[in-house]
C-alpha cells in the first residue's frame, strides 16, 4: 500500500495491535512491580539504579559500593544525576518511571524503524508489529533486568531521524545523550565522520563533553564530578587485562558475551567459557592457542577487516537512495551491537532496525524470488536467536548464535543494497 511516511503517534485503543502492545507493557511492568510490592523486592539492576540516584540526592560517593573488589555502579555519573529526582519519590514510583521510559522507547523504536526503511510504503499493522514480536525476548530483558539498551536504541533512532529531517545538531545531541548513559553508542562517531556529517559530529562531541563534565557539576560539584569521572574511566576503560575488562572479568570472556572481542579471544585462546559459573566443569572452544597480546592484534585485524568491508559495501554519496540509506543504517546498527566490548543477550535488541528493514524488503520487493529469499534469511536468523533461550545449552551462545544471526542480517542488507530494484530514487539531502 502506497502512502506517506509514517510519523510518531500515540497508541490507539481502537487498534487491536495497539491494545496488545499496551497489554504487553502492563505485563512487563507487572514483572517489575509485583515482586517489589508483594515479595522480597525486585532484583537485577533496579536496586542499583535506585541506590545511585539516592547517592546523588544524599551527596554520597557513586563508586564507593563494591562487590569482591569491583565497582557495583559501572556507569558514568550523568545517568545517576538524571535519575536522582525520580528516586526521591521512593522505589515503586521510581521503578514505574523506568518502565514507562522503556514502554515509550519501545513504541518510538517500532514507529521510527518502520518509518525509516526507505520503502515509501505504509506497512500493514501486522507487518509493522512483526519486528517487535520477533524481538520480544530482548524487550523482556530490558524490563526484567532494568537495562537501558532499549532507551538508547530509541535515542539513536531519533538522532538519525532528526538528521534526515535536516536537524543534525539535534541528531548529534541524541547520540551524545545515549553515549553519556552507556558509552558503547560512541561507535557511531567514526561513521558520522566518514560520511562527513560534520554538524552532527560536532554536536555529538560538544554535547557529550557537556553531559559528562558540565551537567553533573551543579549537583556534584565540578571537582568532585571530575574525580568521579576519572574513577569511572580508570575502572571501565583502563582496566583491560588478560583476566578481563570493565569490572566484570568473569563475564567478559564467558559464553554470555558475544561481542567480536570476546568471540575472537575464545577462539584463539584457551578460555573457559564457563568462567562465570565456578560449579560448572571448564569448557573450551579455541581452535588455536596464542598469547593475550597476539589475540588483541587478531581482534584489531578482524575489526579492521569488518570496518573496511563496511566502507566497501556502502555506496558513494552520489549513488545513495532512501533504500540504501536504510540498509546502511541497518548494517551500522548490527556493527555497533557486536563492536561493544560486552554484548550480552539484551544488547541484540539493537537488531530491531535491521530486522524491520529486511521485513519491508521481504514484503514489498516486486521480485518473488527476492521476497522468498529474504524471508528465508530472516527465518534462519531468528532460529539462531532462539538458541539463546534458557531451554538450550549455553554452548550455542558460546559459539556466537546471536553474532552469526547479526552477520546474516548484515549480509542480507548488503545484498539488497547492491541489488536494489531499478526504480530506486536518489536520496535528496
CB atoms within 10 A of CB 32: 22
Per-residue pLDDT of the chain (429 residues; tens, 9 = 90+): 334 444 678 888 889 999 999 999 999 999 999 999 998 877 778 999 999 999 999 999 999 888 777 788 889 999 999 999 999 999 999 999 999 999 999 999 999 999 999 988 889 999 999 999 999 999 999 999 999 999 999 999 999 999 999 999 999 999 999 999 999 999 999 999 999 999 999 999 999 999 999 999 999 999 999 999 999 888 887 666 677 676 666 678 899 999 999 999 999 999 998 887 788 889 999 999 999 999 999 999 999 999 999 999 999 988 999 999 999 999 999 999 999 988 999 999 999 999 999 999 999 999 999 999 999 999 999 999 999 999 999 999 999 999 999 999 999 999 999 998 876 555 444
Hey, where are the domains in the chain? 1-238, 244-429
CA distance 287 to 379: 29
Query: What's the whole-model pTM score?
Result: 0.93
CB atoms within 10 A of CB 372: 12
Contact 174, 159 (CB under 8 A): yes
pLDDT at 5: 44
- Please give the backbone phi and psi of residue 264, each rounded to the nearest 5 degrees, phi first: -65, -45
Please, which residues bridge with residue 71 across strands?
66
Write down how long the chain is.
Answer: 429
CA distance 361 to 353: 12
Please, which residues bridge with residue 244 across strands?
241
C-alpha cell at 16: 487491536
Q: Which of 179, 132, 168, 182 is nearest to 356 (CA)?
A: 132
pLDDT at 40: 84
What's the burial of 58, exposed, middle or buried (CB within 10 Å: 0-12/13-18/19+)?
exposed
Amino acid at each position: 500500500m502506497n502512502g506517506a511516511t509514517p510519523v510518531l503517534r500515540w497508541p490507539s485503543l481502537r487498534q487491536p495491535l495497539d491494545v496488545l502492545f499496551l497489554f504487553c507493557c502492563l505485563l512487563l511492568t507487572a514483572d517489575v512491580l509485583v515482586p517489589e510490592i508483594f515479595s522480597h523486592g525486585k532484583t537485577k539492576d533496579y536496586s542499583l539504579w535506585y541506590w545511585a540516584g539516592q547517592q546523588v540526592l544524599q551527596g554520597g560517593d557513586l563508586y564507593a559500593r563494591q562487590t569482591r573488589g569491583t565497582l557495583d555502579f559501572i556507569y558514568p555519573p550523568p545517568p545517576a544525576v538524571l535519575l536522582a529526582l525520580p528516586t526521591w519519590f521512593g522505589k515503586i514510583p521510581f521503578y514505574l518511571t523506568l518502565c514507562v521510559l522503556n514502554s515509550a522507547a519501545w513504541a518510538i523504536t517500532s514507529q521510527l524503524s518502520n518509518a525509516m526503511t526507505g520503502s515509501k510504503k505504509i506497512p500493514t499493522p501486522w507487518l509493522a508489529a512483526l519486528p517487535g514480536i520477533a524481538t520480544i525476548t530482548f524487550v523482556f530483558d530490558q524490563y526484567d533486568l532494568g537495562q537501558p539498551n532499549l532507551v538508547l536504541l530509541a535515542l539513536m533512532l531519533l538522532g538519525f531521524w532528526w538528521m534526515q529531517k535536516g536537524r543534525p545538531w539535534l541528531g548529534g545531541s541524541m547520540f551524545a545523550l545515549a553515549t553519556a548513559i552507556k558509552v558503547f553508542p560512541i561507535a557511531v562517531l567514526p561513521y558520522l565522520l566518514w560520511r562527513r556529517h560534520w554538524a552532527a559530529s560536532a554536536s555529538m562531541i560538544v554535547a557529550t563533553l557537556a553531559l559528562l563534565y558540565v551537567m553533573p557539576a551543579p549537583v556534584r560539584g565540578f571537582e568532585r564530578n571530575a574525580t568521579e569521572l576519572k574513577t569511572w574511566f580508570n575502572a571501565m576503560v583502563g582496566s583491560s587485562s588478560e583476566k578481563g575488562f570493565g569490572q566484570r572479568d568473569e563475564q567478559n570472556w564467558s559464553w554470555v558475551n558475544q561481542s567480536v572481542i570476546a568471540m575472537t579471544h575464545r577462539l584463539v585462546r584457551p578460555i573457559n567459557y564457563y568462567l562465570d559459573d565456578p560449579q560448572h566443569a571448564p569448557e573450551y572452544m579455541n581452535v588455536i592457542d596464542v598469547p593475550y597480546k597476539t589475540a588483541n592484534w587478531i581482534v584489531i585485524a578482524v575489526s579492521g577487516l569488518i570496518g573496511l568491508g563496511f566502507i566497501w559495501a556502502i555506496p558513494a554519496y552520489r549513488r545513495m537512495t532512501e533504500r540504501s540509506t536504510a540498509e546502511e543504517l541497518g548494517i551500522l546498527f548490527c556493527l555497533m551491537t557486536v563492536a561493544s566490548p560486552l554484548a550480552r543477550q539484551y544488547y541484540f535488541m539493537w537488531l530491531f532496525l535491521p530486522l524491520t528493514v529486511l521485513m519491508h524488503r521481504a514484503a514489498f520487493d516486486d521480485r518473488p524470488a527476492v521476497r522468498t529469499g529474504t524471508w528465508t534469511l530472516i527465518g534462519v536468523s531468528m532460529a539462531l536467536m532462539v538458541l539463546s533461550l534458557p531451554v538450550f545449552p549455553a554452548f550455542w551462545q558460546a559459539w556466537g548464535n546471536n553474532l552469526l544471526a547479526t552477520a546474516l542480517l548484515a549480509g542480507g542488507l548488503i545484498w539488497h543494497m547492491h541489488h536494489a530494484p531499478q526504480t530506486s530514487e536518489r536520496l535528496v539531502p
